[in-house]
Structure 1
Amino acid sequence: MADRLSLHSALFDADRIALNNLAKIERSFEPGSFIIREGDHPTELLVLTSGLCIIHKISTDGYRQIVSIKLSEDIININNIYLDISDYNVQSLTRCTVVAVPKNEMRSLATQRVALGTALIRASLIEASIYREWILNNGRRDARTRIGHLLCELAVRLDVSGTASGQAYDLPMSQEQLGDAVSITPVHVNRSLKSLVHDGLIEQSGRRIVFPDWNRLKDEAGFNERYLHGRQRS
């Protein structure tokens, strides 16, 4: 958590020590397991330490909309520091490990330690920025562009080196799950991926996604990583 927060906010050694001294419980989840269900009253703040999980909502007629993808080191339910009820589901995509800390203790730390409180607020605002981009992506871009944009976002967020150069990665999502993230059918996902491969914008081998022309893909997908606010601590 400290490492992830430090990408965007300056933390003191004392902040890191305070975080490390929190009571912690580690839990593991198999693929497809529910980590949080809508309507739950979480008493813990959850940090994803390995694996990937999704945040989604279910419509009254049973359709799933994935609204966020959480990666290792992400705080899964940062809103529950101050909100008592979960209004979404959290489900594991891969085998996940989660570290849980008492949210009341985290709330107290955020109040007592200004730098840490600021870091948590900034992390929440960045999460909101990503949600705004997803609304634009799903509301105003065509199917192929939506898929390209999502692949670009994951490339940047998974790039631990911070170069944002389009390094290859393994994408553990089915075409149905990709469709639920960008509001298109699996058929349209398949066509979009094939179109991107045909035009030399991506290469796909199983789960492996490779970007032979990263800059051209970004242009075609209308992708600008500004909304991710990467590694800015001003």
Structure 2
Amino acid sequence: MFDRDKAPPGMGVFLAKLLSHSLLSTEDQAAIAALPHRTRHLEPNDYILREGERSDICPVLRSGFAYRQKTTPDGGREIVAIKIPGDPLDFQSMYLRIVDHNLQALTAVELTVIMISDFERLVQARPAIARAVMVDILIEASIGRKWLLNNGRRNALARLAHLLCELHFRLDDTHLGGLDVRKMPLTQEQLADVLGLTPVHVNRTLKALERSGSIVREGRGIRIADLDALIAVADFSDLYLHRDQS
């Protein structure tokens, strides 16, 4: 019986992510763990992939946080996804060869880098792994739709509370303990680029959540003090995360 906790460094958290939404046999898990890979270390703001590149790799985030961003010609930026440990960062390059966004390290990160060609062969040979890949892509699309709704139709307090709830549950699903981040990976400027707000508005909103008792701030750190209260502020439902898939 394959023990994913004994998988090569960098593959265990990747398997945990896939198993959070898909059923994989011990043979499938062992095949993923056996994929050739290398480790890459990057500093905050380093580029992992650049828009317009032709990608031949599928990096997996082993530790740290990363983000996808789109920019306007005049330098405006929108952060369109936050990636957490275990997340595959470019499954889409198995199907779309040109990268259509920038992918950057948010914190110092450690990547497990797998060649797309190796993963393609595995997907072609093992239907359950192919399904897990598609489920992961579809859940990411579902999260993107929720972000569009939040930024278009919710007030600032609900937007921020919703993001914190989402990060808590996504981290919890990969057994990383939910959101108890002593050094919040997102600056107020970056939160503004996620939420479609100004940094000043983000600061006011953080203070409002802190006054309500939902969160505690410790320097740049944020700890959820009352998850139920935060869920109520956000009107949060985890349906879009499809946490019951497996």
TM-score by length of 1: 0.94
Report how far residue 198 of structure 1 moved.
1.4
Measure the CA separation in 1 of the matches of 2:174 and 2:83.
Answer: 18
Give the residue type in structure 2 aligned to 1:155.
H
- Residue 218 (structure 1) aligned to one of 231, 243, 246: 231
Partner of 1:76: 89
Paired residue type of 2:222: I
Alpha-carbon offset, residue 95 of structure 1 = 0.7
Structure 1 vs Structure 2 CA RMSD: 1.7
Give the Cα separation in 2 of the matches to 1:114 and 1:192. Answer: 46
Counterpart Cα distance in 1 of 2:153 and 2:232: 16
Give the alignment partner of residue 163 of structure 2, picking from 150, 154, 167: 150
What is the match of residue 169 of structure 1? 181
Distance 1:182 1:161 in 2: 24
Q: Provide the residue aligned with 2:67 in structure 1.
A: 54
The match for 1:95 is: 108
User: Aligned residue for 1:8?
Assistant: 21
Which residue number in structure 1 is paired with residue 215 of structure 2? 202
Distance 1:74 1:47 in 2: 6
CA-to-partner distance for each residue in 1:6-60, whole Å, 9 max, x for gaps? 1111111221222222221111101111111111111011101011011001012
Paired amino acid for 1:214: L
User: Residue 45 of structure 1: SS of its match in structure 2?
Assistant: strand
CA contact (8 A) 1:66 1:181 kept: yes
Task: Report the CA distance between 1:167 and its aligned residue.
Answer: 5.2
2:41 matched residue in structure 1: 28
Higher alpha-carbon deviation: 104-113 or 114-123: 104-113
Structure 2 length-normalised TM: 0.89
- Structure 1 runs of 4+ off > 4 angstroms? 160-164
Structure 2 residue corresponding to 1:128, chosen from 137, 141, 153 = 141
Decide whether aligned partners of structure 1 residues 39 and 167 sit closer, same or farther in structure 2, where only a CA change above 3 A counts. Answer: closer
In 2, Cα distance between the equivalents of 1:212 and 1:52?
Answer: 22
1:43 aligns with 2:56: yes
Cα distance change on mapping 1:57 and 1:163 into 2, 3 Å: closer
Q: Which moved more, 1:63-72 or 1:18-27?
A: 18-27
- Mean Cα displacement is larger for which, 153-162 or 32-41? 153-162
Q: Secondary structure at the match of 1:107?
A: helix
Q: Deviations over 1:99-123 (max 9, x none)?
A: 1111122112112101111111111
Q: State the Cα distance separating 1:160 from its structure 2 match.
A: 4.9
Structure 2 runs not aligned, ≥5 long? 1-13
Residue 162 and residue 227 in structure 1: after superposition, are their counterparts in 2 closer, same or farther (change >3 A)? farther
- Counterparts in 2 of 1:141 and 1:182: CA distance versus 1, 3 Å: same
* Range moving further from structure 2, 173-182 or 108-117: 108-117
Work out the CA distance in 1 between the residues paired with 2:101 and 2:34. 29
Structure 1 residues 173 and 228: alpha-carbon distance in aligned structure 2, compared to 1, 3 A threshold: same
Structure 2 residue 132 is matched with structure 1 residue 112:
no
What is the number of equivalent residue pairs in this alignment?
232
